Each structure stands twice: as C-alpha cells, then as structure tokens.
Amino acid sequence: MSARIPNSRLQQIQTTLDTAVDLYNQPSFIPADPISIVHQMKTPQDREIMGLWTAVLAWGQRKTILNKAQELVDLMDGSPHSFIMHHTEKDLARMLHFRHRTFNDVDLLYFMSFFRYHYTRYESLEDAFLLGYHPDQPTTEQALNAFHRHFFSLDHAPDRTRKHIPAPFRKSSCKRLNMFLRWMVRQDDRGVDLGIWKGIRPDQLVIPLDVHVERVARRMGILKRKQRDWLAAVEITDFLRLIDPDDPVRYDFALFGIGVLEKPGP
C-alpha cells in the first residue's frame, strides 16, 4: 500500500483528510445525520437498539431516514428497550403499518423478536458481536459474521430479512453495520460518536463504504479494487491505518463529507 503511493502524495492526502475531519467531526454534524436519533436516547440499551435500527434504515434521503427512525422511536413510546421487553400483542399491532423502502412489517416483527431474545440473555447488544470477536484480529470481520449468525439463530427467521443484516462472508461491504459500530465504539473529544462499547477497539473498525466514500477514495488513489465489497472496505481502511493506526475510521467523516457535501479533494 505505502509503496503504491509516494510519501509526498501520502502527506498530501493526509493533509486533505485531516482538514476535512476537523470540519465535519463536530457537534454541528449531528442534527442532519442519522446519529442524531441515537443521541436522543438516554440508556445504553436504547442507544444500541436505535443505533442498529437507524443504521439498517439508513438508505435513501437523510431527511426520510431521520423521519422513519423517529417514527420507530415514537411507536415504542420513546423507550425502545422497555417497549421491546414488555410489549403486548396489542402494542405490536400499532406498529404493523411501518414501512421504509424494502423494510416492512415482517422485518420489524423479527427485529422485535431478536431484540427480546437477545436482551433476555445479555445486558448489551455488544455481546452479540463479541461472540466472534478476538483482540488479535485486525478487523471486526469475525465479529460481524458472528453477529449475523446470532441475529438469525431464531427458528422463525424470515429469509427476506437477511438482506437487512449483511456479513463479510456474504461479500458485503457491511456499510450500515460498520457505521453502527463506529457510533458505538469510537470516542473522541468531538462528541459525535458515542463510544459506549469498550470490548472492540477503534483500530479494528472498518470504514463504512458507500458510493460517496468509494468515489472519493478512488479519486485519491486510496482504492483500486473494482468491486464495492468487504475487501474494498478493508483496502481503504488499511490505507487509513498508515495515517492513523489507532483510529483509522475517524476519516469516515472526511471521505463522506468530501463526497456528499463538497467537491472531491485532490
């Protein structure tokens, strides 16, 4: 990786990315971003539940994503964990009209079942990722694969819901789950990411790879792989580790911000 890009070019890219991180990793980033839903929540469990759910729904226009995630919060009376653990069939009935793109009532009911199943056995949703985690692993690949297996371990798991929970072993870039992990694991003095999980290290996180990040990464020479898949996300992250070995995914703010909110950098 480093041999492919001269040191002078590497320094130029780092300067561009550091400038963008300083611009976008700020509290002013929160209100228009899906992470704002998570910041509303008060308890760790509520933050985990709405973090995962909001990330899964993060498809389409950001305003619509925020509205649909807020609709879910309201349907669960503002307390997702309590609602999930104590709801009645009558409570569920009022949620059956919920839709967002390809996410429908079948998916919603299974998510509810999974959350209740998991929190009956574990205190934190982090435990679902730690089932496959090892501190010696360079990335969260095995943690994500383990989460996928755990999520679909219930007997009545619908096949159609599998498209909403990706996994590296299925060749997905896992953009939404990597974004969710960034929210839960990263913590700095900027106040955007929450950093409530301590079992997974920030240096193991993988960049949330979407079309905007991909476009900027290719323009900068960071990404050469043709497919937008797990290996492409790892390729970008490996490059970012050359700049910041301890917290490479902080540059998600830069790549996403440059790709969505301004013209691509050099």
Looking at the fold, whether 25 and 39 belong to one and the same domain comes out as no
Looking at the fold, whether 5 and 74 belong to one and the same domain comes out as no
**Which residue in 53, 83, 17, 3 sits closest to 177, CA to CA?**
53
Rounded Cα distance between 189 and 149, Å, is 34
**How many independent structural domains does the chain possess?**
2
For CA atoms 142, 145, 150, 155, the dihedral sign is: negative
Looking at the fold, whether 137 and 223 belong to one and the same domain comes out as no
Looking at the fold, whether 1 and 58 belong to one and the same domain comes out as no
Residue-by-residue pLDDT tens, the chain, 266 positions: 444 678 888 999 999 999 999 999 999 999 999 999 999 999 999 999 999 999 999 999 999 999 999 999 999 999 999 999 999 999 999 999 999 999 999 999 999 999 999 999 999 999 999 999 999 999 999 999 999 999 999 999 999 999 999 999 999 999 999 999 999 999 999 999 999 999 999 999 999 999 999 999 999 999 999 999 999 999 999 999 999 999 999 999 999 999 986 654 44
Looking at the fold, whether 69 and 161 belong to one and the same domain comes out as yes
Domain that holds residue 248: 1-30+207-266
Looking at the fold, whether 220 and 190 belong to one and the same domain comes out as no
Looking at the fold, whether 220 and 123 belong to one and the same domain comes out as no
Rounded Cα distance between 91 and 74, Å, is 12
| Residue 238 CA: distances (Å) to CA of 46, 56, 87, 95, 203 | 32, 25, 44, 42, 10
